[in-house]
Amino acid sequence: MRDRLILLPGWGLGVSPLEPLAAALRGLDEHLRVEIEPLPVLASTTLQDWLDELDATLPDNVWLGGWSLGAMLATELAARRGDRCCGLVTLASNPSFVSRDDWPSGMPASTFEPFLSGFREAPNTTLKRFCLLCSQGSAEPRALATQLLSGAPKAQPDILLAGLELLGKLDTRRALQAFNGPQLHLFAGLDGLVPVQAATDMLALLPDVEVGLIEQACHAFLLEAPHELAAAIQAFLHESGDD
């Protein structure tokens, strides 16, 4: 099913941010089936539980993609499926969201840990702050943050906390290297959550894949530049589909 792309959303904000991109992709190629699949509703912080749920829910032999946490999960699922996955598309997604000794281009743990603690104590306030971080670098950050927050589903705090804890400990580098299918990784130049250095480090980690940068865009570039993203993805899908 090389004409089918499944997209997974980021943490906490539901499927709404991906809808303009999905619409733009459908507008470019009427034969491409683009579907947005919500993240699993799990209180587990164990990656295998999330992958088991996604593997049971999503069809085989499709393109997998996603935004931020959704892209990290798509990466792990692509590696698990191997030849049963057509290819991978990640959007504003760091192989390791939190920095490590051997991956410094992540969010410092000294920044992430207080954010995690803040969510435990005041989830609604922290989610608003997260929306502002997603829109940092935008021409109209407050309007974009309001749009993100208004589209966010009402989720149980324990479910959101589990996803946030998973985001903090995921390291998808091994999965990226293990997956032999086509890969496209798109980054935003003004991202307040994923340092732009991650794009360069991704290319060093995977010299044979496609890595792109939309320079004047924030983490929520799905809403800022859906047509630019769609054009890059569509070109990649066509090029890879012709191999």
Strand partners, 103: 100
What is the arrangement of strands in the sheet containing 210-214, beginning at the earlier edge strand?
A: 33-36, 4-8, 62-67, 85-91, 183-188, 210-214
- Catalytic residue, candidates 68, 105, 138, 240: 68
Q: Is 31 a catalytic residue?
A: no
Q: Is 240 a catalytic residue?
A: no
Distance CA 216, CA 179 (A): 30
Q: Is 68 a catalytic residue?
A: yes
- Catalytic residue, candidates 96, 191, 201, 240: 191
Q: What are phi and psi of 169, to 5 degrees?
A: -110, -10
- Catalytic residue, candidates 93, 201, 219, 240: 219
Whats the size of the chain, residue-wise?
A: 243
Extract the runs of DSSP E, i.e. beta strands, from 26-140.
33-36, 62-67, 85-91
Strand partners, 212: 186
Known catalytic residues? 68, 191, 219
